Amino acid sequence: MTGGSTTGDDGSKTKGTGVHESRQPWPLWEVFVRSSRGLSHVHAGSLHAPDADMAVRNARDLYTRRNEGVSLWVVPSSAIISSDPDAKGQYFESAQGKDYRHATYYTKSEGVKHL
């Protein structure tokens, strides 16, 4: 909220006529980048592209301009199935209170080598 700054907003608006295209918006794609061999692909961001080929090319230009990756995945955003954000804690609850699943739970072996 800093009027006219690169990152702000002054709140005031001017009127004008909109530009309309008949075209449907290009689909949204999620981009995953493998930064080097031996590591997994990690989500880098998203982009719009008309098809998969263009999505991969655009992903190269947008997310790997500085040797950030050796491999790219693009996935239509609509194909991603996620857990319910409204379920909040409950969905991951079963892992809570089960400290015995972590190595740090077992303290009696402290000081014993190679364990």
Q: What is the binding site for other proteins (CB under 8 A)?
A: 1-21, 23-26, 28, 45-48, 50-51, 54, 61-62, 65-66, 82, 85-86, 88
Give the pair of three-digit tokens for residue 34.
């493998």
Q: Which amino acid is at 47?
A: L
Q: Please report how close the Cβ of residue 21 comes to other proteins at its closest, in angstroms.
A: 6
Nearer to other proteins, 10 or 93 (CB): 10
Nearer to other proteins, 81 or 115 (CB): 81
Bridge partners of 74, per DSSP, are 31
Query: Cα–Cα distance between 43 and 33 in angstroms, integer?
Result: 6
Nearer to other proteins, 39 or 106 (CB): 39
Q: Please report how close the Cβ of residue 78 comes to other proteins at its closest, in angstroms.
A: 13
Q: Please report how close the Cβ of residue 74 comes to other proteins at its closest, in angstroms.
A: 13
H-state helical runs in the chain: 52-63, 88-91
Q: Please report how close the Cβ of residue 37 comes to other proteins at its closest, in angstroms.
A: 22
Q: Which amino acid is at 98?
A: K
* DSSP state, residue 27: P
Q: Which amino acid is at 49?
A: A
